[in-house]
């Protein structure tokens, strides 16, 4: 009995926390989604019913059915998100260099890149749409929404280094109040116009599509705003688990959103003039309007916080999977591994969000850009899920093909709809994602060329022993620890030390860090003997972990005293631009730039600064 109560309490707390992290983005969509959808949909009752029906069935099919029933199954040791899905794909795709598999790989890179665009756009449109609510209090204050938004975003991004782990339950509580509030306000309007419930019938969605035909695509580019944030249900799987996320949606978030959209529809049917500031006009009086604006602002800040944290997490995963150069990662919580702060990503995201607010100046203009990134990510997620279901899980194709066909048609419809907004703002996430994809491609290709070059020019340890026997290098009575990506090969730092300093440590540990296809590695470090003086240490890590090399070594193969006296040797590679090779021109220069500005191995792996010697090495790619 006690265990049952404890389990219920834990599940309830996780569900509450999930509200603040998982549902913040999709939960604040009613502020702008229906308003934007109705702007070009028509003003008749049947038009309103049709749009609301499209929104309702999008929530049911995409969120409730696609993500909560199927996509949540595609977890990697409990972790979700598009990069977790990427790690589930077969090696033939993840390491492809050509053919259709390479096309699939590039699509996954595009899906990842679009998430970074989402991370820049979400804080901008969410907070701006909330502050625009001050016009419902006093139209004369409308001009203040942009400067207030910029101020809020500047503060939000500047305090990220402090972390937000301790505020998780508070965030959940605020979003719970938010859902109760918007659901209640919607219900009040439904009582005044009960006929709006008919919009839940798929008949009105179908009738709208048949009647408006291709014009429906224009509407769908706004309807998708109602399901923005659906990807977060999958991305945050590892933090909360499937059960709390499903409970949070079906018991709280989902019903509240449906009531709110129906309530807005009921209001605009009775008062067509309310469409201009539709969501905030749900407030029956000025006092409630002030409350709603303040609550909306707080809710959108929380939604933005979840996206900011998510972008940092995606960046770290990309580093571990070899798609990004090393980035400085700061852990903001000793208890929660996922609570991290990535300075360069945070700065770029913050500057990007503020720039978009200043450039577009309204949530309506931003909505055109926002929907494109979401539609692209959802479509690519469906494609990747199909591959995992067939290739990894061996699901029956007679079941998978029709399922993916239905989901794919819906996702493709949304994507094609958002393409119509390409010249109205969708170019922003497209341009941003293309840059991120190019960066990932250059880094992955450069690392591949570098690894091949190192293996080709690798020196054997017997050659080093011969040099020592000839007296060309002196043995120093100390321990040297060398980080190397090529196991059992002589690190370049060793050769540089012999060539320039004519010395070498008497005892050598070669450390190789291997990232596995799991979020958290369960593999133990391995120790292998190369010869009497040289040992090879292999450390395994997951793509959501950042290893601390000294801690691993002292817990595994050397004493605290020996580690404290040891010296770490690293290579600082300087690349010479080749006249011919696999990386040429701008790609070669860009790779050199990324390599030069990436976080040092010393910082990334937690090496002591006062015992690190870096040896410069020139390489021709």
| pLDDT value of residue 482 | 92
| pLDDT value of residue 7 | 58
| pLDDT value of residue 150 | 96
As a whole number, mean pLDDT of residues 15-21 equals: 78
What's the CA gap between 42 and 38, in Å, rounded? Answer: 7
Evaluate if residue 239 carries a pLDDT over 70: no
Cβ atoms of 372 and 222 closer than 8 Å: no
Q: Of the candidates 330, 376, 303, which has an alpha carbon nearest to the alpha carbon of residue 82? A: 376
Mind listing the pLDDT tens digit for each residue in 582-595?
A: 677 788 888 888 88
| pLDDT value of residue 492 | 85
| pLDDT value of residue 1 | 45
Mean pLDDT for the chain overall: 87
Helix (H, G, I), strand (E, B) or coil at 242: helix
Residue 373 CB partners (closer than 8 Å, separation 6+):
114, 115, 117, 118, 121, 429, 433
Cβ atoms of 401 and 408 closer than 8 Å: no
What's the CA gap between 231 and 21, in Å, rounded? Answer: 12
User: In a 10 Å sphere around its CB, with 0-12 CB exposed, 13-18 middle and 19+ buried, how is residue 282 labelled?
Assistant: buried
Buried b (16+ CB within 10 A) or exposed e, 565-578: ebbbbbbebebeee
Kindly report, as residue ranges, where domains of CATH 1.20.1740.10 are found in the chain.
Answer: 2-445
| pLDDT value of residue 215 | 83
Residue appearing with tokens 């989901």: 407
pTM for the full model? Answer: 0.84
Helix (H, G, I), strand (E, B) or coil at 375: helix
| pLDDT value of residue 549 | 93
Tokens of 330: 């700061």
| pLDDT value of residue 340 | 75
As a whole number, mean pLDDT of residues 325-338 equals: 71
What's the CA gap between 179 and 189, in Å, rounded? Answer: 16
| pLDDT value of residue 164 | 62
The helix, strand and coil proportions of the chain, stated in percent and rounded to the nearest 5, come to 70, 10, 20
User: In a 10 Å sphere around its CB, with 0-12 CB exposed, 13-18 middle and 19+ buried, how is residue 47 labelled?
Assistant: middle
As a whole number, mean pLDDT of residues 401-407 equals: 94
Evaluate if residue 235 carries a pLDDT over 80: no
CA-CA distances (angstroms) from residue 458 to 131, 135, 468, 485, 586?
Answer: 60, 68, 18, 12, 28
Helix (H, G, I), strand (E, B) or coil at 579: coil
Count the alpha carbons within 13 Å of 249 in the hemisphere toward its beta carbon: 25
Q: Does domain 2-445 have CATH number 1.20.1740.10?
A: yes
**Residue 580 — very low, low, confident or very high, per pLDDT cuts 50/70/90?**
low
| pLDDT value of residue 199 | 95
């Amino acid at each position: 009995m006690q265990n049952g109560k404890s389990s219920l309490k834990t599940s309830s707390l996780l569900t509450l926390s999930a509200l603040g992290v998982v549902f913040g983005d999709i939960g604040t969509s009613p502020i702008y989604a229906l308003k934007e959808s109705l702007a070009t949909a028509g003003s008749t009752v049947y038009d309103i019913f049709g749009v609301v029906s499209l929104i309702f069935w999008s929530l049911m099919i995409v969120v409730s059915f696609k993500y909560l029933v199927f996509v949540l199954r595609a977890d990697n040791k409990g972790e979700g998100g598009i990069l977790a899905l990427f790690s589930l794909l077969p090696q033939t795709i993840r390491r492809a260099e050509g053919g259709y598999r390479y096309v699939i790989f590039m699509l996954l890179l595009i899906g990842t890149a679009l998430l970074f665009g989402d991370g820049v756009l979400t804080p901008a449109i969410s907070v701006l749409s909330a502050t625009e609510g001050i016009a419902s209090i006093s139209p004369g204050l409308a001009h203040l929404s942009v400067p207030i938004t910029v101020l809020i975003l500047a503060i939000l991004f500047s305090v990220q280094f402090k972390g937000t782990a301790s505020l998780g339950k508070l965030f959940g509580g605020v979003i719970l109040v938010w859902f109760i509030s918007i659901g209640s306000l919607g219900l009040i309007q439904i009582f005044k116009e009960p006929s709006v419930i008919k919009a839940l019938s798929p008949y009105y969605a179908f009738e709208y599509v048949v009647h408006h035909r291709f014009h429906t695509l224009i509407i769908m580019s706004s309807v998708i705003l109602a399901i923005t944030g659906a990807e977060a249900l999958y991305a945050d799987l590892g933090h909360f688990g499937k059960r709390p996320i499903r409970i949070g949606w079906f018991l709280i978030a989902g019903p509240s959103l449906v009531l709110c959209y129906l309530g807005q529809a009921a209001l605009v049917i009775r008062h067509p003039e309310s469409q201009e500031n539709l969501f905030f006009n749900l407030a029956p009086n000025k006092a409630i309007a002030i409350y709603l604006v303040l609550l909306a602002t707080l809710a959108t800040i929380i939604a933005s916080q979840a996206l900011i944290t998510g972008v940092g997490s995606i960046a770290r995963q990309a580093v571990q999977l070899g798609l990004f150069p090393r980035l400085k990662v700061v852990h903001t919580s000793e208890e929660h591994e996922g609570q991290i702060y990535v300075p360069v990503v945070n700065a770029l995201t913050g500057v990007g969000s503020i720039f978009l607010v200043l450039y577009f100046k309204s949530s309506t203009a931003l909505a055109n850009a926002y929907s494109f990134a979401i539609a692209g990510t959802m479509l690519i997620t469906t494609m990747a899920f199909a591959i995992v279901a067939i290739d990894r899980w061996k699901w029956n194709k007679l079941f998978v093909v029709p399922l993916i066909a239905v989901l794919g048609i819906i996702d493709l419809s949304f994507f094609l709809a958002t393409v119509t907004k390409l010249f109205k703002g969708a170019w922003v996430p497209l341009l941003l994602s293309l840059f991120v994809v190019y960066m990932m491609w250059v880094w992955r290709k450069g690392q591949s060329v570098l690894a091949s070059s190192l293996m080709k020019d690798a020196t054997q340890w017997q050659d080093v022993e011969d040099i020592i026997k000839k007296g060309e290098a002196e043995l120093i009575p100390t321990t040297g620890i060398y980080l190397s990506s090529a196991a059992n090969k002589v690190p370049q730092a060793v050769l540089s030390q012999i060539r320039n300093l004519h010395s070498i440590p008497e005892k050598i540990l070669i450390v190789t860090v291997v990232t596995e296809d799991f979020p958290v590695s369960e593999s133990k470090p391995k120790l292998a003997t190369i010869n009497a003086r040289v040992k090879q240490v292999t450390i395994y890590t997951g793509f959501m972990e950042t290893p601390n090399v000294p801690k691993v070594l002292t817990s595994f193969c050397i004493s605290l005293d020996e580690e404290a006296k040891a010296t770490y040797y690293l290579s600082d590679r300087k690349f010479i631009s080749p006249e011919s090779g696999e990386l040429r021109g701008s790609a070669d220069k860009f790779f050199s730039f990324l390599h030069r500005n990436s976080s040092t191995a010393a910082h990334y792996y937690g090496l002591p600064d006062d015992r690190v010697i870096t040896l410069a090495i020139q390489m021709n790619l």
